[in-house]
Structure 1
Amino acid sequence: MTDQTANAQERETWPAVFNGWRRKCPSCGSGPLLKGYLSVRNACPVCREEFYHHRADDGPAYLTILFVGHLMAPLLLFAFTTWRPEPLVLFTIFAIGTVGLSLYLLPRLKGAMIGFQWARRMHGFDKPD
């Protein structure tokens, strides 16, 4: 494999994942990746990179549950043992926090996962640049 071929196949992973986190195109970083809350565009309107073949599937939902659960469970234990609030107050605060954090993370993790797939040339992203 020549140096030119190796450079053409190399894509930076972390910038692509960060662009996906921002819900931007992992290739150019300026075009929108999503057309709705979770609907992925068929292609970037700026650089024409195709996205229709991504395979995020249940990954973003799984990661959202993983992150929110690992963050909220210790906070719930800490709040309960430290302040001993009324159960309804505790439930209300943590229900709102859990739903809010989940709604915030889900589209960002989906974008990050698509950015990771693009950078690693997974699925249909394996065509040469």
Structure 2
Amino acid sequence: MMSEPSTRTGLVRSMARGFVGRCPHCGEGRIFGRYLKVRPECDACGLEMHHHRADDLPPYLVIFVVAHVIGYLILESELNYDVPLWVSLSVWPVVTLAMALGLLQPVKGAVVGLQYALGMHGFATLPGAKPEAGLEDAHLDRPGLDGASPLFRP
């Protein structure tokens, strides 16, 4: 086991680690306990992940990507080939479902990595680190209470 980083991991690295199903902080522990259930904490570094709020963003992103890819493939196949209707009705739904299910978990992991990198929704503290003075989870969970965005405080 490598030594845990004492600073927050960068945005791209955190999202990449989440995309492959690893802890956004250390990159060693697994982020998912089941298909879409995020573990309460990392096995390797102890980062608490139970407070993440991925909510609806991963399905929206997956729908956006899959719809564009499948739509393009359907358009190209219909314009360039004489595809029987029964083939189209049997192939495209299966390919769409396989792509959506295959992308959903990696995209959710990347969203959790994004939240970690930006310090959102309870990710303000690192494992074993003390919280910064004046930075509380309540401000991160409810932006705009004091009229300012929590990401752009001086």
Task: Tell me whether the two structures share a fold, i.e. TM-score over 0.5.
Answer: yes
Q: CA deviation at 1:81?
A: 1.0
- Residue 115 of structure 2 is matched in structure 1 by 117
Aligned partner (choices 103, 123, 126) of residue 124 of structure 2: 126
| Structure 1 residue identity aligned to 2:63 | I
Unaligned runs of 5+ in 1: 1-7
Question: Secondary structure of 2:122's partner?
Answer: helix
Quick one: percent identity of the two aligned structures?
34
The answer to whether the 8 Å contact 2:18/2:110 transfers is yes
CA offset digits 1:65-92 (Å, max 9, x no partner): 0000011101101001111211110121
- Residue 102 of structure 2 is matched in structure 1 by 104
Q: How many aligned residue pairs are there?
A: 122
Q: CA deviation at 1:10?
A: 5.1
Moved more, 84-93 or 44-53: 84-93
Question: Secondary structure of 1:102's partner?
Answer: helix
**Where in structure 2 are the equivalents of 1:43-58 lying within 5 Å?**
43-58=41-56
Q: CA deviation at 1:9?
A: 6.4
Question: Secondary structure of 1:67's partner?
Answer: helix
Change (3 A) 1:40 1:121: same
| Structure 2 residue identity aligned to 1:119 | A
**Where in structure 2 are the equivalents of 1:1-129 lying within 5 Å?**
11-128=9-126, 129=129
| Structure 2 residue identity aligned to 1:39 | K
Distance of 2:101 and 2:31 partners within structure 1: 17
Q: What RMSD over aligned residues (CA atoms) do the two structures have, in Å?
A: 1.3
Question: Secondary structure of 1:28's partner?
Answer: coil
The answer to whether the 8 Å contact 2:39/2:49 transfers is yes
Distance of 1:33 and 1:116 partners within structure 2: 13
The answer to whether the 8 Å contact 1:33/1:111 transfers is yes
Which of the pair has the greater relative contact order for Cα pairs under 8 Å at 6+ separation?
Answer: 1
What stretches of structure 1 move > 2 A for 4+ residues in a row?
8-11
The answer to whether the 8 Å contact 1:11/1:120 transfers is no
Greater share of helix residues, 1 or 2? Answer: 1
Change (3 A) 1:73 1:107: same
Question: Secondary structure of 1:75's partner?
Answer: helix
